[in-house]
Amino acid sequence: MTLRHFRIFMMVCDEGSMTAAAEKLYISQPSVSQAISELEHFYEVKLFERLGKRLYITQGGEKLLNYARHIINLFNEAEKEMHEIKEGGLLRIGASITIGTYILFDIIKKFMKLKPDITIEPIVDNTTVIENMLFKDEIDFGLVEGEVHSTDLIVVPFMEDELVLICSPQHPWAKRDSIKGKELEDAGFILREEGSGTRELFESVMASLGIKWHRTAVMNNAESIKNAVAADIGISVISKIAIKKELEQGELAIVELEDLKFKRRFSFVHHKNKYLTEAMKDFFKSCSDI
């Protein structure tokens, strides 16, 4: 049995005749008659008594009518809910730490002006954690700065980013115009934790150039790293967008590197099987326009 059968049956009950039901539904009277016959055959219950030119619903017909109305109402509610999800609803967004700390909420603010009815649940963690959450369907999509290693995830870049070498204003390198990459040999770096996109890029570039270095400390957020570098505990490589305030206040210094760069892209990431709602597409557009 289909929803069409139930809709025709309900209309016959409401109109009291197959002819009137056919006119209301803009279908032929034989099509209505056939649908009612198919229902009676399927349930093996007579739904109407035909006395003269009038139809009288049977006890079995009354019971089926209650179910038919309930089924159609549930279907209509489901369609309404799905439409609301398509147009709005909830977005579960995962963001890696640099994006989540420095640009995510600017994107959300811009997006919510366009879509004020959408609820947003942001989660900020490192790239590896965000990638794992995508596989568990714990978030709808991610905004990450690190490399994504699974071919089951779709990666769409939306913004360029550059990591810069920072030190305290008291560090000898702060007074120099630039240094060479080889001068980083055996320097003590304050790094992000394993699984961080920033850490992965730093290690990859240093390894590709054969530059040896050692770890002074490991911290899981940019603010702690900036404070440690400002206290002259070590040096670090960090996203340029994360140090704007500290540069203006003279708390940190950028050290120009003559022969190496730490470049990367921020990306919108989702599982290849994830259905992209209109809200998700609109959010990605907000990312691209930032």
Q: What CATH number did the domain enclosing 130 receive?
A: 3.40.190.10
pLDDT digits (tens, 9 = 90+) for 162-192: 999 999 999 999 999 999 999 999 899 999 9
Burial readout 213-233 (b: 16 or more C-beta within 10 A, e: otherwise) = beebeebebbeebbbbbbeee
Residue 218 within any structural domain of the chain: yes
- What pLDDT shows up at residue 77? 78
With a CB cutoff of 8 Å and minimum separation 6, the contacts of 241 are 98, 102, 103, 161
Which of 51, 68, 87 terminates a domain? The answer is 87
CA distance 250 to 168: 9
Residue 117 within any structural domain of the chain: yes
Residue 47 has pLDDT above 80, yes or no: yes
Q: Angle 29-43/59-87 helices, nearest 10 degrees?
A: 110
CA distance 199 to 238: 9
- What pLDDT shows up at residue 85? 64
Q: To which H or E segment does residue 274 belong?
A: none
The closest of 122, 151, 160 to 239, measured between CA atoms, is 160
Q: Are residues 69 and 102 in the same domain?
A: no
Residue 52 within any structural domain of the chain: yes
Percent of the residues in the chain that have a pLDDT greater than 90, as a whole number: 79
Residue 153 within any structural domain of the chain: no
pTM over 0.75: no
- What pLDDT shows up at residue 189? 96
CA distance 87 to 115: 9
Contact between 93 and 120 (Cβ < 8 Å): yes
- What pLDDT shows up at residue 88? 58
Confidence of residue 117 (pLDDT cuts 50, 70, 90): confident
The alpha carbon dihedral of 267, 269, 272, 275 has a sign of negative
Q: Are residues 247 and 183 in the same domain?
A: yes
Give me the chain's average pLDDT, please: 92
Residue 152 within any structural domain of the chain: no
Q: Are residues 99 and 113 in the same domain?
A: yes
Confidence of residue 84 (pLDDT cuts 50, 70, 90): low
- CA separation, residue 149 to residues 146, 160, 216 (Å): 9, 19, 28
Residue 220 within any structural domain of the chain: yes
- What pLDDT shows up at residue 80? 73
Count of domains for the chain? 3
Q: Are residues 133 and 276 in the same domain?
A: yes
Residue 28 has pLDDT above 80, yes or no: yes
Q: CB neighbours (10 Å) of residue 153?
A: 19
Which of 72, 87, 102 terminates a domain? The answer is 87
CA distance 94 to 121: 8
Q: Are residues 278 and 140 in the same domain?
A: yes
Q: Are residues 130 and 193 in the same domain?
A: no
Residue 133 within any structural domain of the chain: yes
Going by the DSSP 8-state scheme, the letter that residue 58 receives in this structure is -
Q: Are residues 142 and 276 in the same domain?
A: yes
Query: Which range of residues forms the domain containing residue 199?
Result: 160-264
Q: Name 92's bridge partners.
A: 121
Q: Are residues 248 and 173 in the same domain?
A: yes
Q: CB neighbours (10 Å) of residue 140?
A: 23
Residue 170 within any structural domain of the chain: yes
Where residue 174 sits, what CATH number does that domain have?
Answer: 3.40.190.290
Q: Are residues 12 and 72 in the same domain?
A: yes
Q: What is the mean pLDDT of residues 100-128?
A: 93
